[in-house]
């Protein structure tokens, strides 16, 4: 019955998007209708099996959040399950807005590739060309995209330096602190893969420098509005003392909500807030070449780091699974009580989105769902060194 109820509201979705096309975004009525059709719920024979899996995940692993599964451009499953704010017992809604954490990084990488296509920057430009006071030599845009810059993570570096803990930092503040304090790098440029937030914070600062717009304005004008992401925004505590989103991040056992702090000011590495529906529209816009060319996407989806666990690497803003005629790009997110995974199976045309606001290990137990959908298991510890699948398990990659 629940699946039929979702389909009943398809007409309402269409009306909502028709209204959105008059909001000044420059999108046509045809765009709005096409997006509305994308968001129509099409329960399939798999839907009840997926729902049983989500119920079990919620009950046994305490998954709390919103889920969407799409196949060949059609949503075959969606659900909001659990609390938006446990303290006030507010239930999640299907259009609830989550802090995306590091799922922001694919958006930032897409913005960079747009600027590359427009000839406004190149992948091999040195950061010093944009910021002459930047204290490190040999760090290029490409190395930032691939996490091979060797930079330290500003999240840890600034903790002892930023004394006004109630005052948020901006990207400009962090760039200034890096120039002034010259923290020791983790490694030499292009030496090793070292995932950290500094890389994408610097990329956002470069976007601002090149476009003379704030990261928030550029993303809104060039990505969010053109592809109809009406519930997606960049929220920084430098602009919003209280982030205007109703979903609260929680620690792993509901003991407390995780409060925002001075580290919620910098953006680019995080800072985008969105919904499962808008992430699906972003996926579809990329597949249809609405933002960057297929050539740019192929470059972004190529392995720019050594393969780990037989299949896994990192491209430009995307984690990668490659092998056995399979190609999956995805990103995880983990920040201040939020934990997510956003998966795009390019070969099988599948999209799987889990946005969670309870930081437990539930998203490391999705093997059965991946196998049910006929796609690779996205969990590094599921594979041996030679890439063979080892079977289900409860542990996996824990980085964001």
Residues with Cβ within 8 Å of residue 72, at least 6 apart in sequence: 349
Q: Is residue 396 one of the residues assigned to a domain?
A: no
pLDDT digits (tens, 9 = 90+) for 246-293: 999 998 766 667 888 999 999 999 999 999 999 999 999 999 999 999
30 shares its domain with 46? no
6 shares its domain with 52? no
- Compute the mean pLDDT over every residue in the chain, rounded to the nearest whole number: 91
Q: Is residue 365 one of the residues assigned to a domain?
A: yes
Q: Is residue 140 one of the residues assigned to a domain?
A: yes
Cα–Cα distance list, 231 to 142, 245, 291, 378 (Å)? 30, 10, 18, 27
**Strand pairing of 312-314 and 319-323?**
antiparallel
Range of the structural domain that residue 4 is part of: 1-41
The pLDDT score that the predictor gives to residue 14 is: 45
178 shares its domain with 126? yes
Q: Is residue 102 one of the residues assigned to a domain?
A: yes
259 shares its domain with 360? yes
Within its chain, how far is the Cα of 276 from the centroid?
11
111 shares its domain with 19? no
Write out residues in the chain with pLDDT < 50, as ranges: 1-24, 394-396, 398
CATH code of residue 156:
3.40.710.10
**Number of separate domains in the chain:** 2
270 shares its domain with 238? yes
81 shares its domain with 10? no
Q: Is residue 3 one of the residues assigned to a domain?
A: yes
Q: Is residue 345 one of the residues assigned to a domain?
A: yes
33 shares its domain with 53? no
Buried b (16+ CB within 10 A) or exposed e, 332-365: bbbbbbbbbbbbbbeeeebbbbbbbbbbbebbbb
The pLDDT score that the predictor gives to residue 257 is: 79
36 shares its domain with 47? no
Q: How far apart are CA 221 and CA 240, in angstroms?
A: 19
| pTM, full prediction | 0.92
15 shares its domain with 54? no
Q: How far apart are CA 2 and CA 10, in angstroms?
A: 14
3 shares its domain with 81? no
**Total number of residues shown for the chain:** 400
The pLDDT score that the predictor gives to residue 258 is: 84
Q: Is residue 256 one of the residues assigned to a domain?
A: yes
Q: How far apart are CA 339 and CA 176, in angstroms?
A: 30
28 shares its domain with 64? no
Q: Is residue 312 one of the residues assigned to a domain?
A: yes
DSSP-assigned beta bridge partners for residue 90 = 85
The pLDDT score that the predictor gives to residue 121 is: 97
């Amino acid at each position: 019955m629940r699946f039929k109820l979702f389909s009943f509201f398809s007409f309402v979705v269409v009306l909502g998007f028709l209204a959105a096309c008059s909001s000044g975004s420059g999108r046509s009525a045809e765009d709005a209708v096409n997006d509305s059709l994308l968001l129509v719920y099409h329960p399939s024979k798999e839907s009840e099996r997926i729902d049983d899996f989500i119920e079990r995940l919620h009950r046994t692993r305490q998954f709390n959040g919103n889920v969407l599964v799409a196949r060949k451009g059609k949503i075959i499953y969606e659900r909001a399950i659990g609390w938006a704010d446990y303290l006030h017992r507010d239930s999640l809604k299907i259009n609830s807005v989550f802090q995306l954490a590091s799922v922001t990084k694919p958006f930032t990488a897409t913005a960079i590739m747009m600027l590359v296509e427009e000839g406004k920057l190149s992948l091999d430009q040195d950061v010093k060309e944009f910021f002459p006071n930047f204290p490190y030599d040999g760090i290029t845009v490409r190395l930032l995209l691939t996490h091979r810059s060797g930079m330290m993570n500003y999240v840890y570096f600034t903790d002892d330096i930023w004394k006004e803990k109630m005052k948020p930092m901006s990207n400009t503040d962090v760039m200034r602190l890096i120039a002034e304090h010259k923290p020791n790098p983790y490694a030499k440029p292009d030496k090793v893969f070292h995932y950290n937030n500094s890389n994408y914070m610097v990329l956002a600062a470069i976007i601002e420098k090149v476009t003379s717009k704030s990261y928030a304005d550029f993303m809104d004008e060039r990505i969010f509005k053109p592809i109809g992401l009406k519930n997606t925004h960049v929220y920084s505590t430098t602009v919003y003392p209280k982030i205007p989103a109703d979903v609260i991040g929680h620690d792993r056992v509901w003991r407390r909500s995780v409060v925002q702090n001075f580290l919620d000011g910098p953006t680019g590495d995080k800072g985008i807030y969105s919904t499962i529906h808008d992430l699906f529209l972003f996926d579809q816009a990329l597949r249809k070449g609405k933002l960057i060319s297929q050539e740019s996407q192929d470059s972004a989806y190529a392995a720019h780091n050594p393969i780990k666990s037989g299949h896994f690497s990192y491209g430009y803003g995307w984690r990668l699974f490659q092998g056995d005629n399979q190609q999956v790009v995805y990103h995880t997110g983990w920040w201040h009580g939020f934990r997510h995974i956003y998966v795009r199976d390019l070969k099988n045309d599948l999209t799987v989105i889990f946005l969670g606001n309870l930081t437990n290990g539930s998203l490391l137990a999705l093997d059965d769902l991946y196998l049910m959908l006929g796609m690779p298991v996205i969990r590094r510890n599921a594979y041996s060194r030679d890439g063979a699948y080892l079977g289900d398990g409860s542990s996996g990659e824990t980085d964001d």
